[in-house]
Amino acid sequence: MPETDNPLKVLVRDFAPDFAAWLLNVAPAAVQHVRPLNIELPMGAVRSDTVFYVILTDGREVLLHVEFQGECSERPMRWRMLDYMSRLAQVEELAEAEPLCSAVIYVGDGAGARDTGDYRLLCADGSLSLAWRYRVIRLWQMPAGGLSG
């Protein structure tokens, strides 16, 4: 698509309000302002804490991703998890067959207290644009014998 990529970018740029209205499913008059953002998405190396390939007794194969987090995080955990999960989903050898299950294990008193592990972004019309979910485990809330068994 290299031969059409640049002309399409020019077309969308030159008629940005019309494209915005169309893609957002609103009347053209509803678009007040469109401003291009020249940003590059970070593609640097990202290392997750732990990823396991799991085969369950019923034969199901699962990719299990686990992150450990203390009280502070440079980036909010929900955005880090979205980044990790989307990158894992794009690993060609893994993306085809295995379900992806992710979890954050919070350590330290109060760590992850407000993390629900369930996030969604909606479009202007209320429809779902993006959703991601991961399991939240707060070790500091568990009884001392909670991991046995």
Task: From 133, 121, 122, 51, select the one nearest 91 (Cα to Cα).
Answer: 51
Domain ranges of the chain: 1-39, 42-149
Task: From 48, 40, 137, 135, select the one nearest 87 (Cα to Cα).
Answer: 48
Res 133: pLDDT:
96
Res 149: pLDDT:
43
In this structure, the number of other CB atoms found within 10 A of the CB of residue 78 comes to 18
Res 17: pLDDT:
80
Predicted TM-score (pTM) of this structure: 0.73
Residues of the chain falling short of pLDDT 70: 1-6, 8, 23-24, 37-47, 92-97, 145-149
